[in-house]
Structure 1
Amino acid sequence: MRSHGCLLNDQIIMTIFLGLFVLLTILFSDVEASARPVSVSVDLIKTSSHTARASCSFDPSLSVLEKVNQLTLYGSKPNSAKKDLNILASVDRWDTTPRLFGSFSANGADLEGIFGFENNRSELHVSWTSPSHSPTPGYRYRCVVQGTDHTGQFVTLSELGEINISEDQLCPVGKLDSLSGKFDKLMKSTIYTDLSLNNLEVRLENLENALNNSVGSSDDKCLETLQETIKENVDTKKAMASILTDIQKMVGKLSQSLSAQAAAVKKVEARLAFEISEEFRGKHYLASRSRWTSIQAADSACEQFGGYLVEIDDEDEFEFVLEFARKIGTPLDFATGMNDIDKEGQYMFYHSKTPVRYFKWNRAEPNNARGNEDCASIVIPHGGMNDFPCEPPYEVSYICEVEF
């Protein structure tokens, strides 16, 4: 009769699950559908430790993209230098598991996300409770989708949302009362269900007692038959457990195979737009076939293949990248992720936001000749680095750092 108890526990768990599902449905029933292909929204509840939920979504039926590669959520503090946005979360077509970045990853924010292949929606939802990232008026969040159109050209779509809140908008009493009423109804429904399950448990217990009495009064043949039936059930359970173990092993092998295939596909697609180096310290370097238009666009192109603008950490890495660029032949200079956009003379990496530790400048460089030379490139003939303007019309190629 223990199987009846397990069944009862399953029913209770299912009831709780359905109750939570209904509650979530009620809470989000007022969300309006966006007519834009890319949408970003932030819902805030101001408590002693600010609670927030940022959502980033993409509807392919409303865009010109033929193939979607990546969905990314960015955010920044108010009045940040040059309105720079930091990456918060991302999901892509090669690794469909969503990832957190920066302080969100360290502080343990909750992340939900799904990458929709073909014509399905892609979504990211980040929830956090942290005074260090309390979203006050002026905070901005950007939802960015990267992919290719029917001609194979890289396309980036984005939507920016700036948070402007007043105190009376943070916790509307009427809305809380409405939600409280709905929750009370749900709890009453759950209590009624629990009572019904309790009655069912009592009836099962009575049935068990009756069966025990029946077995006690039956002859030895009936008892022997019952014991054989129990043994058969135990053997069946062991066989099912063995089959389940085999299935889990097969799923694990299939998952590894799919990951390897995804990496291979990413590498093939990268070869269409980049020259690819040999492996160095577990990574590859991609030299772009197209010209640089801005540091933001170049880093976004690198992100589509799971990488970023190259970040050179020491002399060995610099010499490897320089030799790789020399083998390509042309162009003669390649942009890196180094820049002093925020503060003149203080060089940081664009993607990781960490200080640059290694430099190999050409003679008389950096010179900030045009007064706005905030980015850095490797000049192949001179074997060192020059500074140059980050924005058009100055154009160079660029190098990505990628882990396949």
Structure 2
Amino acid sequence: MVIYGTTVKADETNTCSSVMLDVSQAVKINSQISCLLVNCTFDYSMNDLDKVTSLSLYGSSPYGNKKSFDELAYVEKKHIGWRNGMDKAEGKVSATGKLYSWGPDESALVLAWNKATNFCPNAFKCVAEGIKNKKSLSISSTIAQAVPDDGLCCWNRDSVNSVLGKSATTMVFSEVQALSKNLQDKIEDVHFLSTIDRAQFYVSGEYEGRIYLASRQTMQSNIPDKNSVCTAHGGYLVEFDNQKEFDFVYKFAKAIGGGEHFMSGGNDVNNEGTFTYFHSKKPVPSLKWLSGQPDDYRGKEDCMTFRSDPYGLNDLECYYKSVRFICEIPLHAK
């Protein structure tokens, strides 16, 4: 029927990670070909872990919701086990794998969807747990998307024609092209992240298609100079679209620690009392300010900042000597 050997890979070119995830689709009605094959591997040559204690595969949960993940299966030493009801799908989903606690052999965990089943995630995550420098560590792969054609892995395939019409085939290949573009975007993002100077910036996790870079050192300069540094990294001084985004960045800054102020792109340089963002020129929305702020102390405070404690925004002199800054960097993959 549809596609043979179509493959979607995550972290294929990411030489920084020892955990790799390969998701392959090979759908054929009324055949024994696996409709979905998920392969999670760990490569000791990358030196991410001194010893690996387990490999786990996670699937989107509830099945089809890519916002959260449940553990599906794991391998520890010579034991392979199921999680979260996957044992109910046994006979339709098979698991194989082997764990090598020490190198140089590659550890692997493979799930194969052999028959139609309701247990059909459309996104996967591969996680290796182990020891590095005598400390427990968990390493996770990039999520790989997998959408079985027309849901044939998830539903009763006997009611589906064995030959697709031209329009349906076109839809399938359109979906494959979309997945390919999404993968290419993710690869570009991985490459970009590998170029960031970690000695200069702390790097946040992803938030709605964006990451944030927090300067490790203070910088006594004006907004344009700080924004130029952000521009060189593909972004701009952070702009909080809403309270939720501010809360995410605040938690990131709090985890970094230190007592310095963090400067954003918000300022009222051109119109006292009316804060706008330097990059987009948009007005700053209603956000949580510290009590009594902004107060334009001594008529010199025009830049919007915050500290890791207490919680809330403050206005500060734009040339204040003890201030760090945060860049907002849009990513290709959303």
Q: TM-score, normalised by structure 1?
A: 0.35
Structure in which a larger fraction of residues adopt helix:
1
Query: 1 or 2 for the larger relative contact order (CA 8 Å, sep ≥6)?
Result: 2
In terms of Rg, which structure is larger? 1
Q: TM-score, normalised by structure 2?
A: 0.42
